[in-house]
């Protein structure tokens, strides 16, 4: 089985995000970028499946600027076999990403596509579901456990009420949640080996996909600062303040 793993280049999760003065977007100048954490989990799960003998090849895909090749190299250093970079200088919306991935799936014919449930930059949480719809494949979103079962997978997924285990036939789409695994660190020898692994250069035009944005960002603003708490002398005063605030 071949596994396709889309990965995204985002602002590192340790970086404090700054909004541009004109509120047109996030300031990316001299900001550390890295692989989306949920994508790291997806890569790790694909590698573990390969180590168990459930997969023969892992293909990492990234859609973005030239620097996105660094993100692919990270996946290759972790254990992916080869990469595909689809060049796009402007941000690509989830539907366009899903359309490009569908074209790549049609070309590569993987038995499984595993990707992060969402990216930490836009938190859209839509690409996996859109890809499943375009392909007509079963999907298991928010996976916290994935096990091979016959010709399919048993996937434990996190839902509002707790945990739900479902069976999906392959080929399928799986999106990863935080508790699925702990991604490994790439060793120095694997980082050196990753430099020799192939990355195919593609463009959206190669797949016949129009990536022109359908959405317009009107304003990006920081969330309001949290107000300081207030101490009360007794329960009666607390209840009075809660009533005044409309909580009770």
* Residue 56: per-residue pLDDT: 95
* Residue 137: per-residue pLDDT: 97
* Residue 247: per-residue pLDDT: 83
User: What's the CA gap between 74 and 165, in Å, rounded?
Assistant: 31
Average pLDDT for residues 87-105, to the nearest whole number? 95
Banded pLDDT at 102 (limits 50, 70, 90): very high
Statement: residue 4 has pLDDT above 90: yes
DSSP β-bridge partners for residue 158: 163
Statement: residue 26 has pLDDT above 90: no
Q: Using DSSP, how many helices (H) and how many strands (E) does the chain show?
A: 6, 11
* Residue 113: per-residue pLDDT: 97
Statement: residue 90 has pLDDT above 90: no
* Residue 29: per-residue pLDDT: 84
Average pLDDT for residues 111-118, to the nearest whole number? 96
pLDDT digits (tens, 9 = 90+) for 198-245: 999 999 999 999 999 998 889 988 888 888 888 888 999 999 989 988
User: What's the CA gap between 22 and 198, in Å, rounded?
Assistant: 41
Asked whether 120 and 36 are in contact (CB, 8 A), the reply is yes
What letter does residue 9 receive in the DSSP assignment? E
Which H/E stretch holds residue 157? strand 152-159
Q: How many structural domains compose the chain?
A: 1
Q: State the chain's mean pLDDT as an integer.
A: 93
pLDDT digits (tens, 9 = 90+) for 129-178: 999 999 999 999 999 999 999 999 999 998 888 899 999 999 999 999 99
Alpha helices in the chain (DSSP H): 37-51, 68-78, 94-108, 127-135, 188-194, 235-244
User: What's the CA gap between 128 and 175, in Å, rounded?
Assistant: 6
Percent of the chain with pLDDT over 90: 77
Asked whether 125 and 117 are in contact (CB, 8 A), the reply is yes
Banded pLDDT at 28 (limits 50, 70, 90): confident
- The single residue listed with the structure tokens 């890809």 is 131
End-to-end CA distance of the chain: 58
What's this model's pTM, rounded to 2 decimal places? 0.86
Asked whether 70 and 10 are in contact (CB, 8 A), the reply is no
Quote the distance between the C-alpha of residue 118 and its chain's center: 4
Q: What backbone torsions phi and psi does residue 120 show, to the nearest 5 degrees?
A: -80, -5
Statement: residue 196 has pLDDT above 90: yes
Statement: residue 246 has pLDDT above 90: no
**Which domain CATH number covers 79?**
3.40.50.620
* Residue 217: per-residue pLDDT: 86
* Residue 183: per-residue pLDDT: 96
Domain that holds residue 75: 2-244
* Residue 82: per-residue pLDDT: 96
User: What's the CA gap between 196 and 19, in Å, rounded?
Assistant: 38
């Amino acid at each position: 089985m071949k596994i396709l793993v889309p990965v995204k280049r985002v602002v590192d999760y340790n970086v404090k995000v700054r909004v541009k003065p004109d509120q047109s977007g996030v300031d990316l100048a001299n900001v550390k970028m890295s692989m989306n954490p949920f994508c790291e989990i997806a890569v790790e799960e694909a590698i573990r499946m390969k180590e168990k003998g459930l997969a023969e090849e892992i293909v990492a895909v990234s859609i973005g600027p030239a620097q996105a090749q660094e993100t692919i190299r990270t996946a290759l250093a972790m254990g992916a076999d080869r990469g595909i970079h689809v060049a796009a200088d402007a941000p690509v919306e989830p539907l366009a990403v899903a359309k490009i991935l569908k074209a790549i799936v049609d070309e590569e014919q993987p038995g499984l596509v595993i990707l992060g449930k969402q990216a930490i930059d836009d938190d859209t949480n839509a690409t996996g579901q859109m890809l499943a719809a375009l392909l007509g494949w079963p999907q298991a979103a928010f996976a916290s456990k994935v096990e091979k079962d016959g010709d399919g997978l048993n996937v434990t997924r996190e839902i509002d009420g707790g945990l739900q285990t479902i069976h999906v036939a392959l080929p399928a789409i799986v999106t990863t949640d935080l508790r699925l695994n702990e991604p490994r660190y790439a060793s120095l020898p694997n980082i050196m080996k990753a430099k020799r692994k192939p990355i195919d250069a593609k463009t959206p035009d190669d797949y016949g996909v129009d990536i022109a944005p359908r959405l317009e960002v009107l304003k990006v603003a920081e969330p309001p600062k949290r107000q300081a708490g207030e101490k009360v002398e007794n329960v009666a005063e607390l209840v009075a303040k809660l009533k005044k605030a409309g909580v009770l």
